[in-house]
A and B are shown apart, each in its own frame.
Chain A
Amino acid sequence: MTTLILALIIGAVLFGIGLYGALSQTNLVMIMMGVELMLGATMVNLVAFWRFLHPDVYAGQMFVLVVMTVMAVEAAVGFGLGTARFRAKGSVEMEEAAELKG
Chain B
Amino acid sequence: MMPTIFIALFGAAAIWFGVRVFQTSSMVRSALSLLGAMAAIGGMFLAMEAEFLGVLQLMMMATEMSIMAIFMVMYMMDPGGLGQMDMSHQQREALAAGIVATLLAVAVALLVNWGTVAKEVDSTTVQLRALGIEIMERSMLLFETVGVTILVSMIAAIAVAVAREPKR
Which residues in A have some Cβ–Cβ distance to B below 8 Å? 2-21, 23-30, 32-34, 36-37, 40, 43-44, 47-48, 50-56, 58-59, 61-62, 64-66, 68-69, 71-73, 75-77, 79-84, 86-87, 91-93, 95
Chain B hits for A13, CB < 8 A = 15, 102, 106
Which residues in B have some Cβ–Cβ distance to A below 8 Å? 3-4, 7-8, 11, 14-15, 18-19, 21-22, 27, 30-31, 34, 37-38, 41, 44-45, 48-50, 52-53, 56-57, 60, 64, 67-68, 71-72, 74-77, 87-91, 93-95, 97-99, 101-102, 105-106, 109-110, 114-115, 117-118, 120-122, 127, 130-131, 133-135, 138-139, 142-143, 146, 149-150, 153-154, 156-161, 163
Chain A hits for B154, CB < 8 A = 76
A9 CB contact (under 8 Å) in B37, B52, B109: B109
B142 touches A66 (CB 8 A): yes
A23 touches B94 (CB 8 A): yes
A7 touches B87 (CB 8 A): no
Chain A hits for B158, CB < 8 A = 80
